[in-house]
Structure 1
Amino acid sequence: MSGSTQPVHAAETGGGLAIEGHSIDYIPESERHARLGSQGPFWFLGNFHFFTISIGFVGPALGLSALWTTLAGALGIMFGTLFMAFHGSQGPEMGLPQMIQSRAQFGYRGVVLALLATLFVFVGFNVVNVTLIIDGLNKVFGIEPIPVACGVIAVGALLSIYGHDLMHKAFKWALMLTLPLYALVTIALAFGAGQTEAAEPASLGFSWVAFATQFAIAASYNISYAPYVSDYSRYLPKHTSRAKLIAAVFLGASLSGGWMIGLGAWLAQLLQASDALVALDRVGSALLPGLGNVLVLVSVLGFLPVIALNTYSAMLTLLTGIDSVRRINPTPRARVLSILAITLVLLACVLSIRGNGISILNTFLVLMLYFLVPWTAVNLVDYFFVRKGRYAIPHFFTPKGIYGAWQLRGIVAYLVGFACMVPFFFIFDAAAGEEVFVGPMARLLDGVDIAWLVGLVVSGLTYFILSRSLDLEAERRIIDAISERDILAVARPGASQAS
C-alpha cells in the first residue's frame, strides 16, 4: 500500500503525538516498552462503566433479585475472565495481535472464519455502546441522537488511529475521573439516595433460568475480551511473568465487572431503573443539585476509550482479514482507511438499529457468546495443551508455511462445537417478554442456557483429538532455527533492510 522504502512501523512523531506505527506486524523486543503494572488498571476500566451497570439490569428484568443477580454476575464475570486472562499471556510471548496468532489453528486463509465472529463482536459491542449513550443522553438532557452518535464515534476513531500508547493514557485518565464518582454512587445508593417512598418495591426472587441467563451474559461479557487482550499486552517484554500477567488481567477485569453488575442490580431493584445513565443522574441529583448531570457527563467521557478499544481491535481484525486474502503492507494509511470504513459501518448500524437498549444488550451478549466460545476453546487448547506456547512466527505471514492456508483441524472443531451448541441455544427478548429462539435441549432444561459450556467442551476436545496427528517435533526444529531477524524480514517488510 505504500511505495516507501522506510520500515512500515516508522511513524513521524514531530515531537508530539504520533500515530502508532504497528498494527498486524510483529513487535520486536527492543520496542516492548509497556509495563506489567498498567494491565490491571487498563482492564479494570475496561469494565468500569455504565455499560457493565446495564448488564446488572438483566437479572431483575427476568425476575431475579438484586442479591442473586449480583452473585450470578460475579460468578459469570470471574468465569469469563479466566479465558480472557489466559489469552492475555500470549501477547508478550509472541508480540502479535490475537487474531494473527489464530492462523496456527485455522490457517492463513481459514482464519477468516474466526475473524468474522470477532469482527461481529467488536462492531456489535460499539453498536450497543453508542445506543446506550445516545438513549441515555436523550433522556437526561434531551440531546438529539445523531450529533451525539457522530461525536462519540469520531472520538473513538481518533483515539484508535493514534493507537496503543494514547489509548493507555486515555484509560488512565478515565479511571481517575470515574473511580471516585462511582464509589460515591455506590455508597449513596446503600444509604437510600434516589429512592422515593412512593416507589413500590420490586417483587423479585430466584429462578434457575434467570440465574443461568445472568451468569451466561456476565461470562460472555468477559469472554468477549478474549480476542482483545493480546492486542494490548503485546508491547510487554517477552519474558514478562505469565502468572503475574494473568493475575493482573483477572483481578482488574473481574473486580470492576463484579462491582458494576452488582451496582446495576441494586439500581434496578431499588430504583426500578432500566437506563444506567438515567439512574446515575437520579442518584447524583438526590445528593446534590446538578451532581447527577456531572455524573452522566463524566460517565460518557470515561467511556470513550472503550469505544476506541473496540474500534482498534476491529481495525486489527479487518486488516488481518484483508491480509489473509491478499498480502498487504500494514502502513499507517492502511490503518486510517480501515478505521474510517469501520466507523462508517458503525454509524450506519447505530442509526438503523434502534430499540430498547437492555433488550439489544441481552440478545447481543448471548449471540456473542455463541460465536466466540468455539474459537476461544480451540485457541487456548492449542496454545496451552498442544503447542504449549511455541510457534514459528514467520509462518503466520505466509500461506505456504507450516500452518498452511487452511487448517481443517481448527475449522472442523469450531463448526462441530457450534453445531452442537444450537440445540442448547436459549435467546430471550427480555423487553418484549418473548422467546427469540429456544433449542430443543434448552426447552428440556426449562430454558437454562448451557450452550456455552457445550461449545467449550466439544470444540476443545475435538481440536485436541484432531491435533494428535500434528508433527510437533518437526515444528519445534523449525522454531529453534528462527531468529528475530528472520521474524522481522517476514512480519515487517523493509525492517531488516533498514536496521
Structure 2
Amino acid sequence: MTIGDKRKRRVPAWVETRSIDYVPAAERRGKVWHQAPFWFAGNFVLTTMMVGFTGPLLGLGVGWSILAVALGVSLGTLLMACHANQGPRLGLPQMIQSRAQFGRRGAVLPFMAVVFIYIGFNVFDVILAADAIAVVAAAPRSVSYALLIAAAGIVSIVGHDLLHVVQRWLTGLLILIFGALSLALCVRLAASGGVAMGAFAWPAWLAQGTAAAAYQLSYSVYVSDYSRYLPEETPAARLIGWTWLGAAGSALWLMSLGAALAGEQASPDAIQSLKRLGDGLAPGFGSLAVLAAAPALVGIMAVNFYGATLTGLSVLDAVRPAPRGLAFRVGGVALFAVAVWLAALGLPADYLASFHIFVALMLYLLVPWSAVNLMDFYGVRRGRYVIRDILLADGVYGQWSRPGLLSYLGGLLAMSPFAAVGAYVGPAAAALGGVDLSLAVGLLASGGTYWVLSRNGAVAAAWER
C-alpha cells in the first residue's frame, strides 16, 4: 500500500478526495434528476432576484421586463445545460476540459476570467447573506462575513456529495417559503389590476434579457463539476432537461419576482422588499423569509468556492503538475475565502450599481469561451477526447492552441463595438440607440471562427508540443 493510499484511508468516506483528476467508472454515482434540485437551489438566491431589477430601473415596464427575463433565462440556461452534458462524458471538472480547445497553458486565459467571476459572485453573496442575518441579529460586518465564509468553505471542502444533499434540502424549504410570498404578491397584484406591460424601449428590454442570459450562462463554468460523477451512459437529453428545468425554473421565478417588486419602488432593495412583502402576509413572516435566504446564499457560496478551487488548481497545473487530493482543495478554499472576505469589506455599501456592471462583464468574458467550448464538444470533436492527454503535461492537446485562443480573443473584439456597459457604449451600440447586441455577436463570432479554424484537421495541426 502506498503512502497516498494510507492517507486516503484516514479521510472519512463522506469527504471528497478528488480535485481536478478524472473520476473513474467505479466511482460514478448519483441520479440524473438530482441536477434539478441542485441547480434550483443554487440559483434561488437574492442575487438572482436582483437581476430582475435591471429592466424597471431602466424605465422598462414590469410586463416587458418579465418577458425579457423569460427569453434571456431560456437561452442562457440552454447553453449552460448543454455544458452539463460534458460532465459524465469526460469525467472531469468543467474548466480543465478547456485545455482541449485552448491548450494546457492557453486555457489559463479563460481560467483567470472565471476565477474573477467566482470571487465576484461570492463577494455579492456574502454581503447579501450578512444583510439577511442583520434583519434579526446585528453583528459586526467583518464577523458576519467571516462566519458565513467559513460555513461555505467547510461545505465546499467536504465536497461533491454534501453539496448535492444541501441543495436538495434547501429546494423544499425555499419552495415553501417563497411560494407563500409569491402567492401574497399575486393576490396584491390581482387586487390592483394585475401586471401591466408598461413602458417599452429596445435598449432597456435587451439589457434586461441580456442580463438574465449572462447570469444563467455564468453557471456554465462549473456546471459539469456536479455532473461528472454521473455514469458515462447517462442520457444526454435527460441530463440537459433536468439541469435546464432546475436552473431556469428558479431564475424565472426569482427574476420575475424581482421585476414586480422593483416596479413598485424607485430604489429597490432585495432584503427590505422581501421583508415588507412577507410582513404583509403575516407579522414576522418577512423576517423569516429573509433569514431563509441566508442558507441558500451560503450554499451557492460553497459551490463557488469549490469551482474556484478546481479552476485555481488547473491554473497551477498548467505551469507545473499540481498535486491532486483533499489537502490542496483545502488550501485553495482557504485562499479564496480570504480574498472574498477582504473584497467584501472593501466594497461600497451601495453595491447595486456594481452588481449590474459585474453581470455585464461576465457576459463579455464568458460568451466567447462558451461558444468555443460548445462548438468543440458538439460540432468539431463530437464528444471524442483523449482524457489522459488533457491531464498530461505533454499531451496531444499541446501547450497553446491557436484556433481556441484566436476565436476567444476575436469574439471579445467583435463584441466590443456592440457593448453597452455602464458609461461605455460601443460605436455600433450607439448607432443602434444604445441597443446591446453583443451576446449574439459573441456567440456567432467565436463559435463560427472556431468552426472555420478547426475544419479539415486544423485543430490537430495547431497542437504545439
TM-score range normalised by the length of the shorter chain: over 0.9
CA RMSD across the alignment? 2.4
Normalized against structure 1, the TM-score is what? 0.87
Once the two structures are aligned, what percentage of the paired residues are identical?
A: 41
Check if 1:299 corresponds to 2:293.
yes
The answer to whether the aligner puts 1:38 opposite 2:34 as a matched pair is yes
Given the alignment, which residue of 334, 347, 350 partners 1:353?
Answer: 347
Q: TM-score, normalised by structure 2?
A: 0.94
**How many residue pairs were aligned?**
459
Q: Which residue pairs with 1:478 in the alignment? A: none
The answer for the alignment partner of 1:190 in structure 2 is 186
Partner of 2:201: 207
SS across alignment from 2:221: coil
Alpha carbons 2:132, 2:291 under 8 Å: kept: no
Q: Are the equivalent residues in 2 in contact too, given 1:177–1:302 (CA < 8 A)?
A: no
Q: Residue 5 of structure 1 aligns to which amino acid in structure 2?
A: I
Partner deviation per Cα, 1:322-376 (whole Å, 9 max, x = no partner): 0111101212111100110011111111111224232122110000010001100
1:125 aligned residue (121, 125, 128): 121
Q: Is the 8 A contact 1:58 1:358 kept in 2?
A: no
Moved over 6 A (4+): 471-475
Deviations 1:5-33 (A, max 9, x none): 3249936354xx73211110000011111
Q: Is 1:224 the counterpart of 2:218 in the alignment?
A: yes
Write the distance in 2 (CA, Å) between the matches of 1:20 and 1:8.
15
Picking from 154, 160, 164, the partner of 2:150 is 154
Contact 1:8 1:329 (C-alpha < 8 Å) held by counterparts = no
Native 8 Å contact 2:37 2:246 kept in 1:
yes
For structure 1, list consecutive stretches of 5 or more residues without a partner in the other structure: 429-435, 476-499
In the alignment, does 2:304 pair up with 1:278? no
Cα deviations by residue, 1:402-446 (Å, 9 ceiling, x for unpaired): 101111110111011111111111012xxxxxxx21111111111
Q: Which moved more, 1:230-239 or 1:452-461?
A: 452-461
Q: Does 1:12 align with 2:26?
A: no
Partners in 2 of 1:116 and 1:166 — Cα distance?
27
Distance 1:307 1:345, change over 3 A: same
Contact 2:62 2:197 in 1 (8 A): no
Partner of 1:446: 433
Cα distance in structure 2, aligned partners of 1:334 and 1:5: 16
Equivalent position SS for 1:10: helix
Inter-CA distance 347–238: structure 2 relative to 1 (3 Å threshold): same
- Picking from 46, 51, 65, the partner of 2:47 is 51
Q: Partners of 1:423 and 1:204 in 2: how far apart?
A: 30
Cα distance change of structure 1 residues 101 and 389 upon mapping to structure 2, 3 Å threshold: same
Aligned equivalent of 1:79, options 68, 75, 78: 75
Letter in 1 for 2:376: D
Deviation at 1:111, TM superposition (A): 0.7
| Corresponding letter in the other structure for 1:36 | V
Counterparts of residues 232-381 of structure 1 (less than 5 Å) = 232-270=226-264, 272=266, 274-381=268-375
Distance in 2 separating the partners of 1:110 and 1:473: 15
1:115 to 92, 111, 117: 111
**C-alpha contact (below 8 Å) 1:189/1:283 kept by paired residues:** yes
Distance 1:50-1:258 versus aligned 2 partners, 3 A rule: same
> Is the CA contact 2:129–2:297 (under 8 Å) kept in the aligned structure 1?
no
Identify if the C-alpha distance between structure 1 residues 271 and 422 changes in structure 2 by more than 3 Å, giving closer, same or farther.
closer
Matches of 2:6 and 2:292, distance apart in 1:
37
Partner of 1:482: none
Alpha-carbon contact 1:110-1:407 (below 8 Å) kept: yes
